[in-house]
Amino acid sequence: MEQLLPDLSGLLYVIVLGAFVKIATALSIFKQGLGLQGMGFSLAIVGFAFVLSMFVMNSQVADLEFVGKDLQSAEQQLVPFFEKHADPELKTKFDTIRTKMGGADNVKARNSALSAAFLVSELKEAFNIGLLILLPFVVIDLLVANTLVLLGITQFSHLILSLPLKLLLFIGVDGWTLLSDKLLQGYL
């Protein structure tokens, strides 16, 4: 069991500081836009995010050697990935903050600032993707709600009518392919 712990902690590190955060955040915004609140779809979103993130991180995970090593060695092996995908402005900003806080100027401290810059970059990109996904769904919600009000139907929830319209739109534009492409483009 003790031999398995470094492998699991390294894999968890790759997931948390990999593509999973961006993909899961964007897909959660997508779920909110559809108006689905059920636990079943949440599990599907997490599963889809995990599969896509492992697809992105596959080359990184394949190169990592966790056996008998700690998280610092896994982090060191992921530095090139973080460097490539972190926003340069955020890297500078977090490095400046680290310096002002009186942090040590060693590899571990620089990697910590780089990890933070990478995560914030991923969240920033996820929110941008989420906004692009959310806007058409909000327009559909507003149109359906206003139509129901104009017809004098106030006791009927607009969500019941807008969900099929949102699904028709999503299927009509091949939404899963577009969404997957948009989520994976940043890693090319």
Domain chopping of the chain, boundaries = 4-185
How many other C-beta atoms can be found within 10 angstroms of the C-beta atom of residue 164?
10
Which pLDDT tens digits describe the chain residue by residue (188 residues)? 455 555 556 666 667 778 899 999 999 999 999 888 777 788 888 889 988 888 888 777 666 655 445 556 666 777 888 888 889 999 999 888 888 887 667 777 788 888 889 999 999 999 999 999 999 999 999 999 999 999 888 888 888 889 999 999 999 999 999 999 999 988 87
Claim: this prediction has a pTM higher than 0.75: yes
Dihedral of alpha carbons 97, 107, 25, 19, sign: positive
For the record, the structure tokens of 158 come out as 């607009």
The tokens of 180 are what?
């997957």
Q: Report the amino acid identity of residue 134.
A: L
Q: How many CB atoms lie within 10 A of CB 162?
A: 22
Contact (Cβ atoms closer than 8 angstroms) between residue 52 and residue 184: yes
Query: Residues with Cβ < 8 Å from 145, sequence gap 6 or more?
Result: 158, 162
